[in-house]
Amino acid sequence: MALSDEDVQKQIQHMMAFIDQEAKEKAEEIDAKAEEEFQIEKGRLVQQQRIKISEFYTRKEKNLDLQKKILQSNMLNQARLKVLKCREDHVQAALDEAQERLTELTKNKAKYRQVLQGLITQGLFQLLEPNVVVRCKECDVSACKVSDFQGKMTWGLGVIEPTFVLAAQSEEYDELGRQSERHAYANEHDR
């Protein structure tokens, strides 16, 4: 049975339509698969970039926190140093004033004797030792060896008998009874 040209044309048309349909479906399938792979890859890249950005800003935040802590620590240390400097200045001012007052006090013999006796008494009671050696300047021996100290001192726990020893030559001590640096250094190294 022979097919007419028309039937052959129809069959060719039908086969072309079928092939065309198959090609379109295959193209759509390839497009869909490509789109799916694209979306997967895009999602992966976006996620990687999000992680990188997150890590970057986390590092930045840690660095800022660290810098903030360092700055706070520096400021705190500077404040402490200022406080220590002020404290040192006040202590030095008090020492200077005390030295000045003591220098003036040595000019008033009666008051100087009274202060010296009070300091020795206070020192003896704080030590609470039965035998005490009091070291004084040569010019202060008479102020130290007054009748108040000649006898025995009683204080709850026992008897205190002070012994008075003269300091070395006057060049070794200044007007306030402090040992000169040269003699203090020599005494330190003699031990």
Q: Considering the chain, what percentage of its residues have pLDDT values greater than 70?
A: 72
How far apart, in whole angstroms, are the C-alpha atoms of residue 176 and residue 140?
A: 11
> What residue ranges do the domains of the chain occupy?
86-190
What dihedral do alpha carbons 72, 73, 75, 79 form, nearest 10°? 130
pLDDT tens track for 75-110: 999 999 999 999 999 999 999 999 898 888 888 888
pLDDT tens track for 119-133: 877 887 787 776 677
CA dihedral (179, 183, 186, 190) positive or negative: negative
Highest-confidence segment of 8-22, 64-78, 175-189? 64-78
The model carries a pTM of 0.45
Count other C-beta atoms under 10 Å from residue 120's C-beta. 21
Contact 183, 168 (CB under 8 A): yes
pLDDT of residue 149: 52
Pick the CATH number of 86-190 from 3.90.550, 1.10.3470, 2.60.40, 3.30.2320: 3.30.2320
